[in-house]
Structure 1
């Protein structure tokens, strides 16, 4: 059975706004939370980037919902040993209701320490080794590791998870989906892509959960909603690998000039048509997703949560 969660976008909202949204999400009937992990927003219009680990600590005290990162890159900006410590503490704060979503990252966030930005195949190798290191540390035993990319000496997490901490792997292309099937406890993918899910299953993901979500813009004025989505999230319509290789919000703003308002209107669920919202979420249910996270674009969260509480979630059986 599919469960429905709310997506907290650190790129778009302040820490206080994110906490308020988490409380509203629980009151509206969402059963879990996802949160993004970014050093930069995608563009200056979004304008925020609080540290995800501080936010998870605050969320653990604000609500009693499970939390997953969508997604963390544990390979460059943070060493996997440090990421493991952060994830383990998050799991303890949330009484085991934390899952770590990981991916190969974007230059936007990961180049900030001046490191070379590797091609995908190398980043995938780094991620596989990072997951291995983190899982060793999650046991609470002292470990040492000398691999191709990472060295860990005499490291032990004294505050380790009480139980197995799930590591779900992001897969937006065939190679990444296969990697997720091989090393992940589940697949994270943002679209109901049956081909990616099939590759994940065939590579070892049979019986493992598929997790994803979408952004919508609820507003009684559909044209205003489209304008809001086009202003804040045109980057989601950029093709190919641009989202992985562009290094700064300014570069994304330049590339986004190629994204038309019509493209956004056709790709993003905007307005207050309940059936459109239900249909957009149901596409993920029909594709076999176990967890679907919905995020509201723009500041009108009150109307969004009221509509999903009273109309959309009940229609989905949530």
Structure 2
């Protein structure tokens, strides 16, 4: 989480994670942290370039929003450049965004249906650019939200990066199955995740594709520390947004969220995030999601105790997981 760590520290931790058996990195694209306590919000594309140099696994932004702060063509260029530098390793995660990051350029912040429409149009532009650029030709776009004059990506890998769409809703998941290369979501009750996977599979089938061959990615927040008390303290202090049982998409300032966070209590995390000192509890929770059909699970320990956590999970959790 680039909201919690200086960029150089994040790169060092990514390399340390790989040394303990982790095989990939998802980095957040935030202009501001969720709450001031977190303290950082570095530019994700710079950090990803450094992570690519220091590691050997996959990496990508989880997720970027090419609809307000940045035009989709610019995101396509950034992604293609990383994929050209690190062939076969970089993927592009795209979401509909939150006001805390996107409103800073002063645009009107629309309701969710328009944000989702803008996201899918952005995906259309990015895929157009990838396809045309691989073929060595120009492409243009004129749509309800974006315009792009005739151009191509002059630095383009032989194989375009995978485009994954982030969603927590079944309607959007089905549409993602039709147009994207894969799905990203966050932890939720198993029944809701099952529905999400089913809708994604249906969408893939409608476009003539096999969802079993498409990446299904989960971002899993957790809190581990040597004691249950420390694990809970880390969650409440460092990641209070994880205990908020409402959408945070319309909140504009970390200082506004800080005021709301004062009402977060330990019981608010029940059913939303595993908080435990027992590695076996975490391993079982991760395994349930692997059994559900997720191909890649990116773990986020919400505390600052990253080095200790990576060592413990690399030794006691990862070896016991079954793909």
Fold shared per TM-score above 0.5: yes
Residue 213, structure 1, aligned to residue 219, structure 2: yes
Matched residue, 1:190: 186
Q: How does 1:217-296 map to 2 (within 5 A)?
A: 217-241=223-247, 243-264=248-269, 267-296=272-301
Aligned residues: 309
Say if 1:226 and 1:265, in contact at 8 Å, map to a contact too: no
Residue 59, structure 1, aligned to residue 51, structure 2: yes
Structure 1, unmatched stretches of 5+, are 1-8
Deviations 1:146-181 (A, max 9, x none): 111111112221001320321110111223222222
1:71 CA displacement? 0.5
Say if 1:96 and 1:162, in contact at 8 Å, map to a contact too: no
Residue 178, structure 1, aligned to residue 174, structure 2: yes
Matched residue, 2:91: 99
TM-score norm. by structure 1 comes to 0.93
Alpha carbons of structure 1 residues 129 and 267: separation in structure 2 relative to 1, 3 Å: closer
Deviations 1:85-109 (A, max 9, x none): 0111111122231110101010111
Give secondary structure in 2 for the equivalent of 1:104.
coil
For residues 290 and 276 of structure 2, the distance between their equivalents in structure 1, rounded to whole angstroms, comes to 21
Deviations 1:25-66 (A, max 9, x none): 111101111111111110001111010000011111111111
Give secondary structure in 2 for the equivalent of 1:49.
coil
Structure 1 runs of 4+ aligned residues shifted over 6 Å read none
TM-score norm. by structure 2 comes to 0.91
Say if 2:242 and 2:272, in contact at 8 Å, map to a contact too: no
Give secondary structure in 1 for the equivalent of 2:183.
strand
Say if 2:93 and 2:163, in contact at 8 Å, map to a contact too: yes
For residues 39 and 176 of structure 1, the distance between their equivalents in structure 2, rounded to whole angstroms, comes to 25
Give secondary structure in 1 for the equivalent of 2:200.
helix
* Structure possessing the higher relative contact order (Cα contacts under 8 Å, 6 or more residues apart): 1
1:287 CA displacement? 1.3
For residues 189 and 296 of structure 1, the distance between their equivalents in structure 2, rounded to whole angstroms, comes to 17
